[in-house]
Amino acid sequence: MTCYAHLPSFLKVLITSDGTVTNMLEAWFAEAIHVEVEQESTTVPEHDLVLLNAAPGDHALCRTTQVKGKTSGVCYLNATAVVLPNRVPQATLDCIGSHEAGIGKALRQTRSETLREVLDWGVDDDEQIAWRCYRIVMSGQPVMLITERFPIAPYLTR
């Protein structure tokens, strides 16, 4: 038994999955999901750039969001995405920039071929969150680094 044993089963699936979570959240909680952009900036931690194999001076964007139930308003996760726009097709950037969809849906809508590499995941018992960190690869190059933080409470009720 590990320290993750106390997590609800569905949350274990989400943090270890290499797929997008929005559709899974919609199916599990039986409501549409809405992505709210909280902040966008060009200030990116050096550690994140290293994980993206970025060169010094590469342009990067950082976006923080809340993923919520459209009807309930419940926050199912908070995400931080670091994007290297020079490696992402413009149509995909435009879709992400329109804020109409989360990054996963934007990649699907623009039919972008990607690979997701889960780099790490875990639980912070003090903050009562589970989290995962993964990068998205296009054409053999890392293009995005995404860290998702899932508050445990909403997952305890189902």
Residue 51 neighbours by CB under 8 Å, 6+ apart: 119, 135, 142, 145
pLDDT tens per residue, range 113-129: 778 899 999 999 899 99
Q: Is 4 inside any structural domain?
A: no
Domain interval for residue 74: 9-155
Domains in the chain, number:
1
Q: Is 89 inside any structural domain?
A: yes
- Confidence (pLDDT) at 71: 95
- Confidence (pLDDT) at 3: 65
Q: Is 79 inside any structural domain?
A: yes
Residue 39 burial (CB < 10 Å; 0-12/13-18/19+)? exposed
- Interval 38-63 mean pLDDT: 87
CATH number of domain containing 125: 3.40.1410.10
Q: Is 2 inside any structural domain?
A: no
Q: Is 94 inside any structural domain?
A: yes
pLDDT tens per residue, range 7-40: 898 999 999 887 778 889 999 999 999 889 898 8
Tell which wins on pLDDT, 66 or 42: 66
The confidence band for 101, taking pLDDT boundaries of 50, 70 and 90, is low
- pLDDT for 1 beyond 50: no
With H, G, I as helix, E, B as strand and everything else as coil, classify residue 118: strand
Q: Is 1 inside any structural domain?
A: no
Q: Is 144 inside any structural domain?
A: yes
Q: Phi-psi category of 132—alpha, beta or left, where left has phi over 0 and alpha has psi -120 to 50? A: beta
